[in-house]
Structure 1
Amino acid sequence: MTGLALVTASMIVTTSVASASESAAGPAQPNIVSAAVYALSHPTASPPGANDFSCKPTAAHPRPVVLSNGTGANAYDDWAGLSGVLKRDGYCVFAPNLGGPEGGLFQAVGDIPTTAGQFGQYVDKVLAATGAAKVDIVGHSQGGMLPRYYLKYLGGASKVGTLVGLAPSNHGTNLDGLVDAVRSLPGGGDFADGVIGAVCPACVQQEVGSTLLAGLNDGGDTVPGVNYTVVATRTDEVVTPYTSAYLSGPTVTNHRLQDYCMIDGTEHINITYDHIAIQLVRNALDPAHAWTPNCLT
């Protein structure tokens, strides 16, 4: 494992600029598994309907939507369901690959502040191409937390209307106690910070109590002028406890999937394909046409 870790770390380190590469759109997918299988041979595929830089926003949907994927995922396998839905709704949709090797299958593994800076550059590119004044952001896991760094530290607050997080790692994770267990072992802290931190800096930065998260959440979870929506699931096995996804503040709306369908068993990695989560995203982006989802619709 150490040798593999060092090789992977070398691949990441030698990529001085995180990838924003995207190619032709792939097909819509029903779940993260089928999307990941397609992404194996098409790692830079755009999600359906995304990354058309000739798209011009309409009066009904004046803000383009930028999708931000989770740790180790890429734009296609996280968003091959939601992206096409938003495109059909009339949005201009964009989904970059950032924080990983250029053209690589695994993205969003690099240093979060660095990736957040590149995310901000991508937002500027979208604004310039579309002529819009602001974007809305929908992010999964790290992709729901990382834009908060952009908002707080990198001038993003004036460029974003709404941030929607699907199972975001806003207050970190202990991976059901695994993080504490590893760090309690002899040499466990060195392993986590050295080996894991070299391969995936973002993984260590998302641990509960990390320096990055302590700074990000210091002084409050939100910044003025931005609306926040969080969608969490009680069965989240990655962001634990699942309530660590929630934000607090006057412009925050927190949702739990099981409050709309008690038997919904959707876990962390497939939440971007859950029909309730998708509708809650649509509601957050277009509150005037919101409706309440349930187990069937």
Structure 2
Amino acid sequence: MIQELSYVGVASPHVDNWRSYGPGLLGAMVKPDGPAGAVRLALDDINHRISIHPGTADEFRYAGWGLANETDLRAYVEQLTERGVDIHWGDADLCREREVAELAWFCDPWGLRHELTWGKAATPNSFQPGRVMRGRFVTGDQGLGHVVFQVPDMNKANEFYADVLGFRLSDRIVNGYFNVRFYHINGRHHSLALAEFPGHVGFNHLMLEYENMDDLGRAIDLLERHDTEIMQSLGRHTNDLMTSIYITTPSSFQIELGHGGLVVDDLSWVARTYNKPSYWGHRFSSAARTRAPGILNPIE
């Protein structure tokens, strides 16, 4: 019943760096601050999609998943409760902060928080990109983009995200270095991916997709101005056909900036297994070889 990745939130001691990084490099629109000085970024007419909260360390806080309406939300919560998921309803203050009509939340088996919502606030014709752009971000019925989490046990993770939560497998990449599963909830090839990393849990990256290839190219030209490093060079993925680059952010996790992602149709889609992630490119930089792959924490 989940229909979109609606929003994400992280905490960081470098929250103020996002005030220039978000609009000047990504092309997002800075919106009025949230509680406690959280930086909020919009990518479309939804009031805000990305929140960076002040914090003493870089930390993944939550992913927000949108459902169609209140009936779907309540039916889904009932279904998850019957499957043993510990659901908590957000109070009025939390709903105001997230700008949603209703919210229920839970944590996955390793503590990653997920929020289920409906009625995310939007202001028609409000989005203005933070830099010159030829097009817009690909959102709409495909939602925000996609998130990639590292999980210690792929089988256990798949049981939770696919069998319990209902994410639908698009395909997977398996070889001596990768064990990654990709899941869709709408036409976007994947809104969620899980990468096995034994002994750890983490938030690897957020993908944002541009409508126009020139906007991706312009972002690459702006990297040096914003003191941003390339983690993986420009390349094209085998499974979702996205042409993209992976870059650093002020807050440890990476952002994948892409164009031309595949749209799937559940009536005809067949999941495949690939043995490599890219047709070409996506070469790891020296920075990628020496740094943690995102906001990563060991499992005790």
TM-score, with length taken from structure 1: 0.31
More strand by share: 2
- State TM-score, norm by structure 2: 0.31
